[in-house]
Each structure stands twice: as C-alpha cells, then as structure tokens.
Amino acid sequence: MNSIINETIGDGWAMYHADTIEVARNLPTASVDFSVFSPPFSSLYVYSDSPRDMGNVRSDAEFFENYGFLIREQIRVMKPGRLVAIHCMLLPTSKAMSGVIGLKDFRGDIIRAYQAAGFIFHSEVTIWKNPVTAMQRTKALGLLHKQIRKDSSMSRQGIADYLVIMRTPGENPEPVSHTPETFPVERWQRYASPVWASTSGVDDEGFLICGDDEVAGDPSSGINANNTLQFRSAREHSDERHICPLQLEVIRRAVRLWTNPGDVVWSPFAGIGSEGYVAVQEGRRFIGAELKRSYFEAACRNLQNVKNQDSLFALDAPAFVGSANS
C-alpha cells in the first residue's frame, strides 16, 4: 500500500505529503548529507488530528517511543560522519498539566534519545531570544515584571532555543571544506560562538546587549527572530500558535557551515519549507516530508518561489522515494 499521499518535485527539491517515518524508510542507506529540522515538542502543540501526528500523544514517553522509529531510520540514511541538527527548547510546565510551574529538559531528552540509537553528541548552539517578546506572547508568570515586585523567587529567565548537533558514527568520506573567501575568520568567530545573537554593545554591568538586528549588509552577523517564513497562509482556524519558529538565519548558518554545494539536505518535519527554502537558495538539494496538508501546500509554494542566490547550476531533483500514483 502506498504511503505517499501527494508529492511535488521541483528544481533541486522534493516535497512529500506523507508520514515522515514512511518517507524515511524509502530513502536509500547513506544517502543524506545533512539534516536540519524542528521536531514536534512532544504534546506541547497540536498540529492535526491524524493518529500519525507525533504531537498527538498523551505523554513524553509515548512521544519518544514514536520518535525513536524516526531516529533509527535517520542513523541509517545519514552518511557516515555527517550531522543532524535538531532545533528544540526546554518545555514549560504548568500546575494544570504537571502539578508544578517549572521546566522540562526536552533538549536533554532529545540528546539521550539520539545517543541511545548510536549517534554522537557533536555540539550545540544556544539561540538568543528576546524575553520581552516571549513575555508578550506567552504571558509567562516568571517573565512578568510585576512578579519581581510580588515574589522574585518565581521570576526566571526567558527560554532560549537550541540547535543540538548529533553526528553519525564513522569517517566522513567527503570533507566539507571552505576557503578564506567563503569563510573569513571574522565569520567563523561568529559561527563558533556558543550563543548565536547579534549584539549592540555592553551595558553598565558588563553584560552584552543582545538584539534581533543583523549588521548592515551581512546576513551572517546575527539571528533575527522575526526572519521566518510567513506561516499564516498555512494555518487553519483550529491550529495552536507555534511559539518557537525556526529562524532562517539559523538554518542558513547550519547549511553553510556543515554542507557542500550540491549536498542533500533532509527535513523530516518540513512544515512550510523553511529548511528547504534556505537549502535551495544556498545551492543544495532538499528532501522534505510533511504530514499536515496545508503546511505541505505552503512548503511547495515557498520552494517554487525560491531564488537561487548564487545561480551556480541547475540541480537534479533529489532521489525519488515513492509515488502518489504508483
């Protein structure tokens, strides 16, 4: 029985409307150079009513049981020595759902799940987020200024994003190499920072002042939290709002740093196509899977509108994994 609901193949990219595990099972072994994506955050958000939706779970244990099927396919399809970049965050808990106000170590759970499957914990990046924006969006008790006046023992810092990097065992047969022109030392110093954010100086206590703006003319200089693909067109009335979108600059840095031109980039949770949009712009090939129909359709529109910044060459479509009509 065919598991692909629909598919669209473009210049250098392929999008599949399907269960991501079924798509992964059809990918050839050692065929993917890099994978970057934002998985469902356990049951924090509900994207669809489908029983195949990993967000439709009753517990974290159930989520990681299902996610484990994908992780085991990932270690098979990734080339030796290549990287998987997972966008995640710590998850807030509430009295209503968990009995206490606090945080769950979702980031650590992801790392442990990949290690259990044989991946190597390679590195991670902390992505700065504006706590004022988070407070306005979530109304989290710990971020409210009035909580300082009431009882600051319940005040907390904003929740950062993370890009957790896991490495496939083995030696990479095709080194990812750069030149001083494509990666000058100043750029590498920004990429090598454990925290990705633009800065605008130092305050009177000696702390860096972080912001969302890039250095003029240099998109690699900072992470603009507002620079995400527009997702309103993909949203349905019953959707919950996703408070942790994956910024385009995060994807761009990862793709530029960890892939060669022409490499295959895979997103098993493609959403509206952010990873593919950047990958194709950067001269890479892309494979994406998305279960939600409206997101799949938006991803195809976004990928069809990509302008390849370098226009180096016309890429062949990635490896075909199935057919909606076969």
For residue 222, name the pLDDT band (cuts at 50, 70, 90): low
> What pLDDT was estimated at residue 238?
56
What is the mean predicted confidence (pLDDT) over 199-210? 51
> What pLDDT was estimated at residue 250?
92
pLDDT digits over 273-285, tens only?
999 999 999 999 9
Task: Return the CATH architecture of domain 4-126+159-193+246-304.
Answer: 3-Layer(aba) Sandwich (3.40)
Q: Which residue has the higher pLDDT, 63 or 176?
A: 176
Residues 6 or more apart from 299 whose CB is under 8 A from it?
15, 234, 270, 271, 272, 273, 276, 288, 290
pLDDT digits over 226-276, tens only?
677 765 556 665 554 444 568 888 999 999 999 999 999 999 999 999 999
> What pLDDT was estimated at residue 316?
46
Angle at alpha carbon of residue 87, lines to 193 and 209, rounded to 5°: 40
pTM of the predicted model as reported, rounded to 2 decimal places: 0.84
The residue ranges of every structural domain in the chain are: 4-126+159-193+246-304
Judged against a pLDDT cut of 50, whether residue 312 lies above it is answered with no
Structure tokens at 238: 């019953």
> What pLDDT was estimated at residue 3?
74
- Is beta strand 78-89 parallel, antiparallel or unpaired with respect to 32-37? parallel
> What pLDDT was estimated at residue 141?
85
Average pLDDT, whole number, for the chain? Answer: 82
